[in-house]
Amino acid sequence: MNQFLTGLLLFALLVATVSCKKDEIDVLPKATAKGKNTFGCLIDGKAFLPKKSDGSIFQLTRDEPLFTWYVKRTFDVLATGGGQRVFIRLPNTIRAGTYTLADARPDAAYGSCLVGSLEYYTTSSLASQVIISRFDTAAKIAAGTFEFTARNYQSGKTVTITEGRFDVRLN
């Protein structure tokens, strides 16, 4: 009887482990283009979604987890949550298309990511791109996908952003 209970317990643990191991990509929002204000990506393989601030004194975004700007043909999207942040800047954006991210400068297309206390930035030497599938200034909707690798200037460490997608309202 003891072997039976041990076997049953091991089987239950196996089932619990398999069912708890959810595919990270399934957690991300679907790639849509309807202005649903969704955003998500994998940061080094782990799902990142915008979340409300914890109320700490160092709030970055007035307690809003997803911000977009479209001013003077520059499109910015900022997502924060769980002590992390992903930012993408695309100057001279006037239509759907593929944009390559480069070195972080106010006048350049770039991406950045905050993980813990380290800030990572795209560089022209690391692979990165944003594909805007819908850019509709009349309907105020921007949607697309993105992937990039960014480097921390001090440590030299890199972070990889994959499976990124956004479907946002332009402000």
Decide if pLDDT at 4 tops 80: no
Decide if pLDDT at 69 tops 90: yes
How many Å apart are CA 33 and CA 7, to the nearest integer?
A: 49
What is the rounded average pLDDT of the residues 3-31? 54
What is the rounded average pLDDT of the residues 49-62? 62
pLDDT score recorded for residue 106: 84
